[in-house]
Amino acid sequence: MAPRPVAWVEHSETRRSRPRIADPIRATLKIFGKGAQLAILAALMHPAHADDLRPYQVVGDAIPKSLTGMPGDAARGRAIVLNRQVGMCLLCHSGPYPQEKFQGTLAPDLAGTGRRSSDGQLRLRMVDASRLYPDTIMPPYYRVDRLARVAASFAGKPILTAEQIEDVVAYLVTMREESKP
């Protein structure tokens, strides 16, 4: 079991009465059972920290180096982009996928992306598009701080892993054809 947060330990060891923080947990436990209690404890013990991410360096408008030190896999990246649960890209973007119904109209078409941007530029846009477009609606796929309404089980975890980011970047650089009118 991971160490308990310091405040919790202090309370429970220095006072005979029940620590305050345990009361909402007990109440939740009564209502929702053990899963909910564990989720709350996980949130307390594992607040989102940027330390959970691999370090990267932003140079200009790009992250020139692979987050994993390895090139990604374009075929896996394509699958992430097309997946409606994992990448969700087509919620906002359209792309050269005639077979895909209901593509997004909120963001630029992904066709030609690899011609417009370098792999480093695409990496930064994937990691945290808000660094370039402060009010963007595009999710920061590799950021864990400054997020609202994160479920406890996702706290501290980026939307995509470093490997998945590299796979998506590897795929996007291959998208050199503009959409046919």
What is the binding site for ligand HEC (CB under 6 A)?
81, 87-89, 91-93, 106-108, 113, 116-117, 122, 125, 129, 133, 136-139, 141, 168, 172
Give the residue from 107, 87, 93 showing the smallest Cα distance to 161. 87
From 167, 172, 61, 170, select the one nearest 111 (Cα to Cα). Answer: 172
Cβ distance to ligand HEC smaller for residue 3 or 134: 134
CB of 132 to ligand HEC, least distance (A): 7
Q: Among residues 29 and 79, whose Cβ is nearest to ligand HEC? A: 79
In the complex, least distance from residue 28 CB atom to ligand HEC, rounded to whole angstroms: 32
> To the nearest whole angstrom, how small is the minimum distance from the Cβ of residue 146 to ligand HEC?
16
Residue 1: both structure tokens together: 């079991």
Nearer to ligand HEC, 114 or 156 (CB): 114
Q: Which is nearer to ligand HEC, 37 or 113 (CB)?
A: 113
Closest CA to 120 of 135, 108, 132: 132
Q: How far is the CB of 9 from ligand HEC (least distance, A)?
A: 40
Give the dihedral of Cα atoms 72, 89, 46, 53; nearest 10 deg.
Answer: 30
Per residue, what are the HEC states of 89-125? HHHCCCCCCCCCCCCCCCCCCCCCHHHHCCHHHHHHH
Smallest gap from residue 171 Cβ to ligand HEC (A): 8
d(CA 94, CA 53): 29
Which amino acid is it at 107?
A: A
Between residues 81 and 155, which has the closer beta carbon with respect to ligand HEC?
81
